[in-house]
Amino acid sequence: MTNPLRDPQDRRLPRIAGPCSLILFGVTGDLSRKKLIPAVYDLANRGLLPPGFGLVGFARHDFSQDEFAQLIKQAAKDGARTPWRETLWNQLAAGIRFVPGEFDDDAAWKRLADTMRELDEQQGTNGNHAFYLSIPPALFPVVVSQLREHGLATSDDGWRRVVIEKPFGHDLASAQDLNRVVAEVFPRESVFRIDHYLGKETVQNVLAFRFANGMFEPIWNGNYVDHVQITMAEDIGIGTRAGYYDSIGAARDVIQNHLLQLMALIAMEEPVSFKASSLRIEKQKILANARPTPRLDFHTAHAQYVAGWAGGEKVAGYLEEEGIPRGSTTETYAAMRIDIATRRWAGVPFYLRAGKRLGRRVTEVAVVFKPAPHQPFAKHDVEELGENALVMRIQPDEGVTLRFGAKVPGTTMEIRDVLMDFAYGGAFVESSPEAYERLILDVLLGDPPLFPQHEEVELAWEILDPVIEHWARQENIDTYTAGTWGPASADEMIARDGRTWRRP
Ligand code: BG6
């Protein structure tokens, strides 16, 4: 029963999930072990999961219930960000179940249905179940239709939701197919597509920064902004994900989703509210008007890392990584210029770049401003003055920096760049929850604003498809040395516009 004295809109109250269970498909995969299971433990530790909570793993393996519980415990212990509490674990463990089987095996689905019924009775999960598909997209259709066939996708008593991990297709056509398959079984409000960047505090802060303050929005347009650079650099290679990564590459892996979502948040108009439907409308307008420039040979770059250095150690090139086929032309670095045809952004290029094995791990958005229309200084006074820029540091070292010129003390009027800095660590004592914690909790609460909807996903593919097709027509792929900031072709690409990449 809901407490009539509690205002459900009051965002200060802790949001605690009601009785429910989470069914993980792909429970033995990397993402489940490293992110999802630890996030479930941390949510429980923060008191945000109900006493009646169930966690069900479905996989091809032949684990006993005990072996499975042990596996989950180890993953939770290895990845938890909050302190380990054995008593809490024992409570959680009471709701953990394992269902072995293949996705096309009807008997396994029957076992799953029985398990869910048993959990409803034993744990009081009330028929509320979220199905988390952390599996290759090729398997989505079979899983979704099995959920329907076995009567698991709907319920008279509780809610049923489906959570889909990217990649949402590999191009526009496949994304449309996928969305159609899912929509045949689950209504829009029951589908939660994960883009974990939207779960990050610093990404949500883009909206707070822009719309809670009066001073930035008046200059947030082509009259004042020269260009925007969105960078997602990683120092790691592809790790143990060769199979996944080689079939996908950098642009599909992170530009189609994380970087285009970030771009939409930076560029969109003020939403009517922060409801999912209002956010979608504004993001959709940006994505529908955004296009790579027609000169794809001029304004895109893609490349693969070759052996080099990372963290002081020698590292292999992409083609030498275990599991990568000889002669693969998959890109590990992608850069492109996107133009947004709206009154606010006409003439302001958005440069997006992402890559593995770059100089260091950093994701940031830099809004670079035009110079003052007139400068009453001698030329040598402003020789060391760069561009005014506002940099949102998404991670690590989360914060916002404003770069502007200031007079060097003791000189007549020499001007040099200085930084004004906001750092989360210095301003807030609250710790940020991990993105997956926030997103899993939102799924269990049925709170959809941080999940991209199918329109956004399809529009993002419309932007990317021509670039990927253009690259596919090229026989060779450029290279860059691991540990550097990417290929020379990316520097040339931005230099054609008379600009340079920021060195984060
Ligand atoms: C994932 C990509 O979406 O994001 C990975 O598939 C990438 O390739 C990861 O490493 C990076 O996430 P984060 O949160 O560490 O920036």
Which residues does residue 306 pair with via DSSP β-bridges, in sequence order?
A: 481
On average, the pLDDT of the chain sits at: 94
Which residues does residue 23 pair with via DSSP β-bridges, in sequence order?
A: 56, 131
Q: Report which DSSP code applies to 202.
A: H
Q: What's the pLDDT at 138?
A: 87
Q: What's the pLDDT at 11?
A: 56
The finding on whether 254 has its CB within 6 A of some atom of ligand 1 is: yes
The two structure tokens encoding residue 236:
């790691």
CA of 237 to the centre of ligand 1 (A): 11
Q: What's the pLDDT at 433?
A: 86
The finding on whether 253 has its CB within 6 A of some atom of ligand 1 is: yes
Nearest 5 degrees, angle CA 119-CA 121-CA 123? 55
Ligand 1 site-directed mutation target among 81, 194, 254, 332, most atoms within 8 Å of CB: 254
Distance CA 128, CA 400 (A): 40
Domains, in order of start, for the chain: 6-197 (3.40.50.720), 198-495 (3.30.360.10)
Are 204 and 450 spatial neighbours (Cβ–Cβ below 8 Å)? yes
CA diameter of the chain = 83
The finding on whether 42 has its CB within 6 A of some atom of ligand 1 is: no
CA of 264 to the centre of ligand 1 (A): 19
| Residue 258 bears catalytic tag | yes
Q: What's the pLDDT at 187?
A: 96
Q: What's the pLDDT at 4?
A: 43
CA of 10 to the centre of ligand 1 (A): 32
Q: What's the pLDDT at 6?
A: 47
Q: What's the pLDDT at 265?
A: 98
Are 50 and 19 spatial neighbours (Cβ–Cβ below 8 Å)? yes
The catalytic residue among 129, 170, 196, 258 is: 258
pTM flag (> 0.85): yes
The residue ranges of the chain whose pLDDT is under 70 are 1-13
Name which residue sits closest to atom 4 of ligand 1, judged by CA.
Answer: 254
Q: How many CB atoms lie within 10 A of CB 7?
A: 10
CA of 67 to the centre of ligand 1 (A): 29
The two structure tokens encoding residue 394:
């998404």
- The distance in angstroms from the start CA to the end CA of the chain is 51
CA–CA distances in Å: residue 6 to residues 102, 275, 376: 45, 20, 60
CA 407 to chain centre: 40
Q: Tell me the pairing of strands 160-165 and 53-59.
A: unpaired
Asked if the bond preceding 167 is cis, omega within 30° of 0, the reply is yes
What b-and-e string marks burial along 129-167, b requiring 16 or more CB atoms within 10 Å of the CB?
A: bbbbbbbebeebbebbebbeeeebbeeeeebbbbbbbbb
Q: What's the pLDDT at 344?
A: 98
Name which residue sits closest to atom 14 of ligand 1, judged by CA.
Answer: 197
Closest approach atom of ligand 1 to CA 244: 6
Distance CA 173, CA 433 (A): 35
The finding on whether 234 has its CB within 6 A of some atom of ligand 1 is: yes
Q: What's the pLDDT at 12?
A: 57
